[in-house]
Amino acid sequence: MKLVIAQMKHETNTFSPVPTPLSRFATGADSPPEGAAAVAAYRGTGSAIAAFIELAEGAGAEYTVAIAAAAHPSGLVHDAAFEHIAGRICAAVALGCDAVLLDLHGAMVTQTYEDGEGELLRRIRAIAPTVPIGVALDMHTNLYAAMAEHSTVIAGYHTYPHVDVYETGLRAGRAVLAMLADRARPALAWGRRPMLPHVMRQGSDDSPNRELQARCREIEAEGALCASLFVGFPNADIEYAGLSAVVVSDGDPAQARRWCDELLDLAWAARAQFVYQIEPLAESMARAQALAAAKPEGSGPVVLLDHSDNCASGGTMDTMTLLGAILDAGLDGVAAFAVFDPAAVQQMIAAGVGSEVTLALGGKLDMPAIGLAGQPRSVTGRVRRICDGRYRNQGPMGRGELSDMGPTAVLDTGRVQIVVISDHVEPHDLAAFTAVGIAPERMNYLMLKSRIHWRAGLRSLAHAVVECMGTGVCTSDYAALGLHHVRRPVYPIDAI
Ligand SMILES: [Zn+2]
């Protein structure tokens, strides 16, 4: 038995000005790892590709890892990057195999293709029309027909924050291996509903996604090989952004169809619960200060979420609206993670640890797609620490995977410690703070450029959380995004 394993992961925010060349998929190298280097990078981690590697080795299969390419969310994937990654995968398939196992995201938009994953699968099918293809997808998949029609098995995450990525790889991979052993006959049904669940309302700890994902697990317990409800990624101005479902039954297409429709109907009935109500920033700031003033001695920080500028949804991570409000309000005992500003890091490195510097911090990236220009903020402080910005995630999200913030420095204003980074990393892991010498549990406030993922590694520390409306290409205001290409009508833009 010979398997081709590969990873191609990118969530594309079509409003993001952050470019996505091949190097963004390569963590410090020229191109993403392949073969033994890819196995070494991912074996034993909490990723879906790690699950595929483990399953292949456990089954005694011959396997090759064509490429392992994952990048933080950003703007349209450059055509050259897509062609390189898809080309490596197709070349491996062309050598012949019994099955293909793919660790994909499901919301990749390239300069040419609205549906990057569908295009990859179309090309694989042209080479290998009948070979089983098992796919692990992120819960933020925007599902296109080509993805469902060319896959044999699809499994999506059941959690957001995504802490079951490895298990999702196991579900997809096991179904394909069972098929190869004549122990299963996957029958896939898929569908969509015209709705754009808001990211701030998608957490799987919260209703209604908690109940929807619980129903997926029940359907699997009732005999489905994989049952997945995708909440979709709305910061993508494409035709089929939004909610979808895929159910793979064992040999019963009609049952797969019934289960899939049931999931879609449950989600549609709960659509109003996926709508997010935005609180004005001034109210959020006042609420945060009241919460901090009233918190008992020894309790954890009040978390201020800068949810409009979340790099794990394609944010530039350099908008200064919320951090500016924190500085203006004189909040004390704050750690802010993080501001993306490679030039400011270089200025701090040149000045040296202990030096006082005044920087035009952040705001370097214009956001023409939403009509905003970058606005730096003058900040004076002492350079408290300089480091290489690399750390391994402790988990539960991305356990064991390398995070790389690039050259990193901490600017200390006396009241606020600002982590300034050179590559985009979302704060979902305690190690993001310990890597820069900050103990978040001792702070009065944490400012996090995150929406839901921070909950994975940091929520247990928090005394309270306040969702703050800053600015950026992850804005929670659909009207500010100007969605022009999404199919209409679509809820909640249209009242259906
Ligand atoms: Zn996701």
pLDDT tens digits for range 314-341: 999 999 999 999 999 999 999 999 999 9
169 pLDDT exceeds 80? yes
Distance in angstroms (rounded) separating the CA atoms of residues 133 and 344: 46
Residue 447 belongs to some domain of the structure: yes
Among the listed residues 138, 14, 142, 25, the one whose alpha carbon sits nearest the alpha carbon of residue 74: 14
Ligand 1 centroid to Cα of residue 386, in Å, is 31
Ligand 1 centroid to Cα of residue 138, in Å, is 5
242 and 307 housed in the same domain: no
Ligand 1 centroid to Cα of residue 109, in Å, is 15
Percent over 90 (pLDDT), the chain: 94
Ligand 1 centroid to Cα of residue 299, in Å, is 30
319 and 269 housed in the same domain: no
369 and 457 housed in the same domain: yes
pLDDT digits (tens, 9 = 90+) for 73-126: 999 999 999 999 999 999 999 999 999 999 999 999 999 999 999 999 999 999
5 pLDDT exceeds 80? yes
Ligand 1 centroid to Cα of residue 140, in Å, is 5
272 pLDDT exceeds 80? yes
Burial 252-281 (b: 16+ CB within 10 A, else e): eeebbbebbeebbeebeebbeebebebeeb
Confidence of residue 496 (pLDDT cuts 50, 70, 90): confident
247 and 287 housed in the same domain: no
Among the listed residues 192, 171, 191, the one whose alpha carbon sits nearest the alpha carbon of residue 250: 171
Ligand 1 centroid to Cα of residue 420, in Å, is 24
238 and 109 housed in the same domain: yes
Please tell me whether residue 200 adopts helix, strand or coil conformation: helix
Residue 117 belongs to some domain of the structure: yes
Distance in angstroms (rounded) separating the CA atoms of residues 176 and 98: 10
Residue 490 belongs to some domain of the structure: no
Distance in angstroms (rounded) separating the CA atoms of residues 76 and 73: 9
CATH code: domain of residue 235: 3.40.50.2300
pLDDT digits (tens, 9 = 90+) for 455-489: 999 999 999 999 999 999 999 888 888 889 999 99
| pLDDT value of position 78 | 98
| pLDDT value of position 203 | 97
- Helix, strand, coil percentages (3-state) for the chain, rounded to 5, are 35, 25, 45
Residue 488 belongs to some domain of the structure: no
Ligand 1 centroid to Cα of residue 162, in Å, is 7
Q: How far is CA 231 from the centre of its chain?
A: 13
Among the listed residues 31, 68, 122, 110, the one whose alpha carbon sits nearest the alpha carbon of residue 401: 68
Please tell me whether residue 368 adopts helix, strand or coil conformation: helix
Instruction: Answer for the pair 154, 168: CB distance below 8 angstroms, yes or no.
Output: no
Distance in angstroms (rounded) separating the CA atoms of residues 481 and 476: 9
Ligand 1 centroid to Cα of residue 369, in Å, is 22
Burial of 361 (0-12, 13-18, 19+ CB in 10 A): buried
95 and 233 housed in the same domain: yes
Distance in angstroms (rounded) separating the CA atoms of residues 421 and 237: 28
Distance in angstroms (rounded) separating the CA atoms of residues 365 and 316: 7
Burial of 96 (0-12, 13-18, 19+ CB in 10 A): exposed
Residue 65 belongs to some domain of the structure: yes
Ligand 1 centroid to Cα of residue 203, in Å, is 10
Residue 495 belongs to some domain of the structure: no
Q: In the predicted model, what is the mean pLDDT of residues 39-45?
A: 95
User: What is the domain range of residue 471?
Assistant: 281-475
Ligand 1 centroid to Cα of residue 382, in Å, is 36
| pLDDT value of position 195 | 97
103 and 119 housed in the same domain: yes
Q: Is the dihedral of CA 160, 164, 169, 173 positive or negative?
A: negative
Last residue within a domain, chosen from 274, 292, 323: 274
286 and 265 housed in the same domain: no
Ligand 1 centroid to Cα of residue 80, in Å, is 24
DSSP 445: E
353 and 465 housed in the same domain: yes
The two structure tokens encoding residue 278:
């935005």
Q: Mean pLDDT score of the chain, rounded to an integer?
A: 96
Residues with CB under 5 A from ligand 1 (ion): 138, 140
Among the listed residues 223, 211, 207, 190, the one whose alpha carbon sits nearest the alpha carbon of residue 106: 190
| pLDDT value of position 427 | 94
Total tally of structural domains belonging to the chain: 2
304 and 406 housed in the same domain: yes
Residue 128 belongs to some domain of the structure: yes
| pLDDT value of position 207 | 97
Beta strands of 203-251 (E only): which ranges?
226-230, 244-250
Last residue within a domain, chosen from 222, 249, 274: 274
Q: Is the dihedral of CA 405, 411, 412, 413 positive or negative?
A: negative
Ligand 1 centroid to Cα of residue 348, in Å, is 33
The backbone torsions φ and ψ at residue 69, rounded to the nearest 5 degrees and listed phi first, read -120, 110
